[in-house]
Amino acid sequence: MKKQHIVRLCRAGIFAALYVVLTLPFVTVTISEIQFRPSEALTMLPLLFPEAIPALFIGCMLANWVAGGAILDIFLGAVVTLVAAVCTWLVGKFVRNFKLSLFVGGLFPVLLNALILPGIWLVAYGQQEFGYWLNVAFLLASQSLVVYALGVPLTLAAKAYLKHTGKALAAEGASSTSSQRTEEDEKEE
């Protein structure tokens, strides 16, 4: 039981660190009105790993802070990521068709970020170069690209990894939720 908690805590730390590492090299396009954040691909991981939820919140907050974001953007932007992660996790919990859960689960990081972040930016930074709806359009495009073109393959790779190693991990008690999900998906296919 103790090993299970340690594995999940370590995995969460890795996810948070990855979020920061995947955001900072692209800082000129991750903290601007036209945002392209490869780290948002990680927002699909709650479908398989519940520990990704707090990890994404912490990783987003750290990335926004290190990149020099306004305090409102640092905190509220991370809260949007947290809410999207919880919603994605709920999809993974209740939608049994994994392919459908990939599509539906990706809608939350795309739509919540696209609709809420431009409002946060307007309050945190004042008048924006582009209007609210143009920022929404930019975010819809960039978030869709990252979540579906990078996040879905990442999640499929993680699922394949769990399929091959999940039984060993479950035997050790390290990832019962993930391995149960993998076993259920095998029965569907």
Tens-digit pLDDT profile for residues 48-77: 999 999 999 999 999 999 988 899 999 999
CA–CA gap between residue 102 and residue 173 (Å, rounded): 26
Total-model pTM: 0.83
Burial of 100 (0-12, 13-18, 19+ CB in 10 A): exposed
Q: Which domain CATH number covers 93?
A: 1.10.1760
Tens-digit pLDDT profile for residues 89-111: 999 999 999 999 999 999 999 99
* Domain enclosing residue 35, as ranges: 2-188
Structural domains of the chain, count? 1
